[in-house]
Structure 1
Amino acid sequence: MADVATRDRERARHIRYGVILSLLMLCGFGVTGSPYDRIDPGPVIRIGPPARGSWLVTTVVVRHSTWFRWALAGLTEEHMVRMRGPGPATTDAMSEAMDASQTTAALVAAQLAGRRTPTGSAGLQVTGMAGAAATIGLHPGDVLLAAGDARHLAPLRDQTDLGSVTAATGNVRLLVARRISGESLGTSTTMGISSASLAAVRVDSAVAATAFPLGVVQGPSAGLILTLARVDALGSGRLIGAHHVAGTGGVGLDGSVTTVGEVAEKVKAAMAAHADVFFVPALQRDVAVRAARGGTMRIVPVGSVSDAVKWLCAVGGRSPACEAS
């Protein structure tokens, strides 16, 4: 019996040592890096003109995830994890996406503030003028969005479009978003110009503009709020009323709102910042509603920037864009 008891004690001791060693190995492995990133709600960035309300750009924070954090995120479902991208190439792409989003936001806002439906084209940016063309009212940095006659304006996508209009009529009507400072664009307006003067205007299809600087923020998802805040700024800051508006969504040159990633985390960031309205791409409404459950923030799905403008106008917002919505 003594030998049996001794063997049992030895076996129990070995099991304990094995469990302890396994736990130590598991802990050591758990704190090593995994090929996943953990996504957490980030800070919000207030943009636009001072008003009773506020425009809030939502962000997320991306952190390298250990295997322990990866497992915890899966168990609790409180955090999102995703496979890590290839590094610098992804960072460059996200930076380029932000630049494109800034330009699109500035162009779409300029047209909506001018009571016009976005053309769906980035237009042509004026780079210079030769001879007498310098006196016609265009300046470097202005963007020519559409051209034609008194009956119809066609979007300008490249210099061939501009050449075709110039050759077809002696007097050209232009839809122009004027540069007002730096890379900021003002409200779009129409102007008349002779085809001879227009032929002396140098343009480039590489259009660049900025709605509001966002520092290190990357990606396309700020496009919707950037556009709305710019529309508001061009309309004397009355569109927002007293609302604290957050949201997420990319924006196309035609004003359409496109889907983005990490919607749930951005909803949580907006709730933490006490936003009362959150605009989200219509296709991602359910994700946003689930993330906002238990709070009082209103989720408003939109398919276009104009949808968001209409909603704000219906709840008391004031802007020239309301007349076109």
Structure 2
Amino acid sequence: MNKISLIIPTYKRIIDFQRTLISVYKQINDIDEVIIVIGPNDIESFNLAIQYKGLNDNFKVIQIQKASVVNALNCGLLKSTKDIICLTDDDIVLPEGWAKRIKEGFLNDPKMGAFGGPDKLTDKNLDSKYGYNPVKEVGVFKWNTMVGNHHLGIIKSPSEVDVLKGVNLSFKREALKSMCIDSFLEFKGAEQCWEIDLAQRIQANGFKIIYDNDNFLYHFISQRESYDKRGDIFSELNYNKTLNINYVYAKFRPLYEIFFLIFKQFFIGSKIQPGIIRAFFMIKKNGLKVVYLPFKNCIPIYLGLFGGFKKRFKKK
């Protein structure tokens, strides 16, 4: 069949959403089904989506009662009917030929289960905001970390990777088998790490994950809701990220990677999620309460690991 279902979750970003729909509509002949999932009490986005539904029967509109990306995507996946599923955000612009390239990619490589590429961070003129210099690696696991860099190109392209970014992620229905994202990862807002879980499941089913520089889209930096501030080290969102990353590692990754993740989180950490050592250097800026963060993070680390190992052993 080689037909595409495109799923777009959106919540109260009407200007960005309108720009996204304009670019989608321009290649609607190559996108066989557009499923728009709208968060609660977002009347503006709902009315706009209904207008496009009136223009073309390929558009479907769903309104949900919880502001959660995982919940929105799961609702969209349940409604999807085509054999290629494409996931994206409401603050992107699709370049010409995007959908056609995805169809050709899956047609040319039957063992490819998922296909992605760069999300070029841009401004309103579609000019690169942070540059676009190719790097050596994108979306791969190392013994001591997971390399991101998905918004950049990769020197060797196309290339087989471990993880794709959710804003530009397409996969074959047969590669995922169970058409849902693990509900353990659900929280609120733009939850993180669900792409890792999705990609690892596709790999576990024996399919390749391919990243290709030519399979890019434009990605705007949009305003987030008040509970979705990723730069706030004390936010609930960072608690959820810690929970989720430990869960997906315990569920899929080798034990030595899991042990190093625990060590790194507790003793070193990052600017957003500091460990004991880093926290002491952040006291001047954030106050003494920052010292308690590594110990507070022990709770989501434990809960994530416990849940992940439970799911891991249940599969065997």
Task: Name the TM-score, length of structure 2 as normaliser.
Answer: 0.28
Q: Hey, which of these two has a bigger chunk of strand by percent?
A: 1
Task: Name the TM-score, length of structure 1 as normaliser.
Answer: 0.28
Higher relative contact order (CA 8 A, sep 6+): 1
